[in-house]
Amino acid sequence: MSTFHPRNLHRDGYDFDRLTKVYPSLQPYVTKNPAGEPTISFSDPEAVKALNTALLIGHYGVQHWDIPDGYLCPTVPGRADYLHHLADLLAAGGPLLRGKDIRILDIGTGANLIYAILGQRIYDWSVVGTEVDPLALKTAKALIGINPVLQKGIRLRQQKDRRSILEGIIREHDFFHATVCNPPFYASEAEAAEANARKRKNLKLGKVGRTVAGQPAELWTEGGERSFLLQLIRESQAYGQQIGWFTSLVSQKENVEPLGQALEKAGAKAVKVIPLAAGQKRARVLAWRFQE
């Protein structure tokens, strides 16, 4: 039984016949699993990239998608799941909120622009993506420029201060219905490299290459995921009337309790933890607000 959200287009798996037709470059990466069903090696960043491209073309009307070598390539179904749960949160039991009047702030949009693309294509939301990395920002701008369907719904802002998350991004008259964020996971580059080596050993892939590509700012930050989110919570207090729901992925379950304690101290009026499940992987979305 699928663990994805009921509205997730990918809850029943991938139609590789369709995907290889819309994006023939996917075909060389398609293999058979032990049951004889088509699949790809999800430990191969190039295979994941090809699958993402096919999904974005085949299901979301994107004409072209690419990222530079070595940049994070998140899987489309999991990121779509986050947005479907966010849509439920915004609806608060009523009709789903669709259209360009719904504004979303994508913190650290990356070269892949994945949340912005999916939010715009699934729900027609207006998305503002923030990014600190100049090459990632340049790539994201190029993706918007080459895809006419994205041009009316996505804007980008550069975070010029690497020490800040929201400060310098949110303007005086801004209002966003929600934020989305995929925070850096590891506490150091060495920790990221060690985890990558451990994954390769478990998958019996040898010592060469990486199971997950990504730039340092995408994969690690001083103090890790918890430190990043504690900073986001601190900064969020100043913008509580300009953002409806602050939300972020939390990959490490042990971070939920201390983050909840920080939100209580910060005076959050509501806090929610929304479970996510993509196959064997478990994560959650932490959501909080300062408005009644």
Tens-digit pLDDT profile for residues 231-242: 999 999 999 999
Residue with tokens 């209002």: 175
3-state helix/strand/coil string of 15-27:
CHHHHHHHCHHHH
Average pLDDT over residues 68-91: 94
Top pLDDT among 63 and 194 is at 63
Instruction: Write out the H or E segment, with its range, that includes residue 103.
Output: strand 103-107
Q: What is the pTM of this model?
A: 0.88
- CATH code: domain of residue 112: 3.40.50.150
Top pLDDT among 235 and 75 is at 235
pLDDT digits (tens, 9 = 90+) for 128-168: 999 999 999 999 999 999 999 999 999 999 999 999 999 99
pLDDT higher than 90, residue 122: yes
Residue 282: how many CA atoms within 13 Å on its side-chain side? 5
Task: Give residue 69's pLDDT.
Answer: 87
**Domain-embedded: residue 50:** no
Mean pLDDT estimate for the chain: 88
Q: What residue type is assigned to position 13 of the chain?
A: G
**Domain-embedded: residue 24:** no
**Domain-embedded: residue 60:** no
Task: Give residue 136's pLDDT.
Answer: 94
**Domain-embedded: residue 37:** no
Instruction: Tally the domains of the chain.
Output: 1
Q: Is 105 within 8 Å of 130 (Cβ atoms)? A: yes
**Domain-embedded: residue 1:** no
CA dihedral 103, 104, 109, 111 (to 10 degrees): -40
**Domain-embedded: residue 120:** yes
pLDDT higher than 90, residue 227: yes
**Domain-embedded: residue 208:** yes
Share of the chain above pLDDT 70, in %: 85
Local structure of 107: helix, strand or coil: strand
**Domain-embedded: residue 54:** no
**pLDDT class of 43 with cuts at 50, 70, 90:** confident
Q: Which domain holds residue 176?
A: 74-289
**pLDDT class of 221 with cuts at 50, 70, 90:** low
pLDDT higher than 70, residue 119: yes
Average pLDDT over residues 111-127: 97
Task: Give residue 138's pLDDT.
Answer: 97
